[in-house]
Amino acid sequence: MGQLIDSSILIAAERGGHTMRQLACIAPDEPVAIAATTASELLTGIHRAKTEPQRLRREAFVEGVLALLPTLPIDLRVARTHARLWATLEELGQPIGAHDLWIAATALTYGYAVCTHNAREFARVPGLDLRVPAG
């Protein structure tokens, strides 16, 4: 099984000056990737920077992540999983954020676990293997 790294892990790494392996629940023998939605969240952070030095630091970090980790695309298979999850979670009265729903759908479609600091949202997703860093 692979691990899909959520933006909460990457943002913590950037803010703390840590590597992903220091913060994440990454097993050395598992593939690691990000969802297309996570890439968009990280790129949005560049555009929302308050100062030019902050923007440049974020851009360097994000571009480094994008060069290092493969990005799993949203395709028709992911869209089908997303639709099923959305309907299920709404029926249960347990909806999650729109971006997290896309990330969960991507993980389930590709057979990846989600490594995140946001267990509260992702724990609602039936069948999702959730990995939360210790500490």
Assign 32 to helix, strand or coil.
Answer: strand
Say how far apart CA 115 and CA 24 lie, in whole Å: 7
74 token code pair: 């949203």
pTM for the structure as a whole: 0.91
Domains held by the chain: number = 1
Least confident of 4-18, 42-56, 85-99: 4-18
Domain that holds residue 45: 2-131
CATH for 106: 3.40.50.1010
* Per-residue confidence band for 13, with pLDDT thresholds at 50, 70 and 90: confident
Residue-wise pLDDT tens digits, 44-77: 999 999 999 999 999 999 999 999 999 999 999 9
Contacts 24+ apart (CB under 8 A), 106-109: 106/4, 106/35, 106/36, 106/37, 106/72, 106/74, 106/78, 106/81, 107/4, 107/35, 108/81, 109/77, 109/78, 109/81
Compute the distance between CA of residue 101 and CA of residue 38 in angstroms, rounded to an integer.
11
* Number of C-beta neighbours around residue 27 at 10 A: 14
